[in-house]
Amino acid sequence: DTEVTQTPKHLVMGMTNKKSLKCEQHMGHRAMYWYKQKAKKPPELMFVYSYEKLSINESVPSRFSPECPNSSLLNLHLHALQPEDSALYLCASSQAPQETQYFGPGTRLLVL
Amino acid sequence: AQTVTQSQPEMSVQEAETVTLSCTYDTSESDYYLFWYKQPPSRQMILVIRQEAYKQQNATENRFSVNFQKAAKSFSLKISDSQLGDAAMYFCAYRRGYGGSQGNLIFGKGTKLSVKP
């Protein structure tokens, strides 16, 4: 079973809203990732959590705030986003940071 | 810095035929992993195949196989007996081996594959 789930599938928000994206896996993976993907582009790494601790932050603006409540869950809190933040947000997980990553279906975000 | 290049923005194949997608990469590392991911219009990135650099044998997964040429830094994907469901964007990706930057997958720009019935 290599299932990573993400909710919601679609999200429309205004620039003053606060929203959260959720990612969940029950494979016992100890590394989880957030990626941002613009149309017709490859995914860009945003954050890496390793054993529930933030290990990589790829200079992401503070309006994106990740959270890892436990080893199965990864959240991305959104606040005061800009229209250019509209994209597909992908979550992935792996057995360990060095292992193969498995992706969720993504959340399509539109910022108005 | 490592880079991954996919020189074919788009490819087309007839159903049941064979197609090869190209990928080259640049690295000074000796320990690394290479991947092909598929992203259909449904958006989910699906792992197609993985190759460890220390293995000389080319990886195979059913109709998908790779031609890994380490000296040439080439990692092409061959899809045999193409099916309509193979239509997708295909990304080649590189990751350093153990001890490298955690989780840093470096992606190519992708090749959009169309399958004609």
Whole-angstrom Cα distance, residue B3 to residue B25? 6
Contact by Cβ (8 Å): A109, A59: no
CA B34 to mean position of chain CA atoms: 7
Longest dimension (CA), chain A: 38
Ramachandran area for residue A28 (φ above 0: left; ψ -120 to 50: alpha; else beta): left
The model's pLDDT over A100-111, given as tens digits with 9 standing for 90+, comes to 899 999 999 999
pLDDT the model gives residue B97:
76
With an 8 Å Cβ cutoff, are B103 and A48 in contact?
A: yes
Contacting residues for B55 by C-beta, under 8 A, at least 6 apart: none
Mean pLDDT of A86-96: 95
Whole-angstrom Cα distance, residue A46 to residue A43? 9
Q: Are strands A44-50 and A53-57 parallel, antiparallel or unpaired?
A: antiparallel
pLDDT at position B100 over 60: no
pLDDT at position B99 over 80: no
With an 8 Å Cβ cutoff, are A103 and B45 in contact?
A: yes
Residue A77 to residues A18, A23, A61, A73, B75: CA-CA distances in angstroms? Answer: 7, 12, 12, 13, 37
The model's pLDDT over A28-86, given as tens digits with 9 standing for 90+, comes to 999 999 999 999 899 999 999 989 998 888 889 999 999 999 999 999 999 999 999 99
Nearest CB to B105; choose among A41, A45, A106: A45
Contacts of A102 in chain B (CB under 8 A): 47
The model's pLDDT over B15-30, given as tens digits with 9 standing for 90+, comes to 999 999 999 999 988 8
Nearest to B112 by CA among B41, B55, B53, B57: B41
Whole-angstrom Cα distance, residue A55 to residue A48? 6
Contacts of A103 in chain B (CB under 8 A): 37, 44-47
pLDDT at position B101 over 70: no
Buried b (16+ CB within 10 A) or exposed e, A77-99: ebeebeeebbbbbbbbbbeebbb
Rounded (5°) CA angle B92-B47-B117: 85
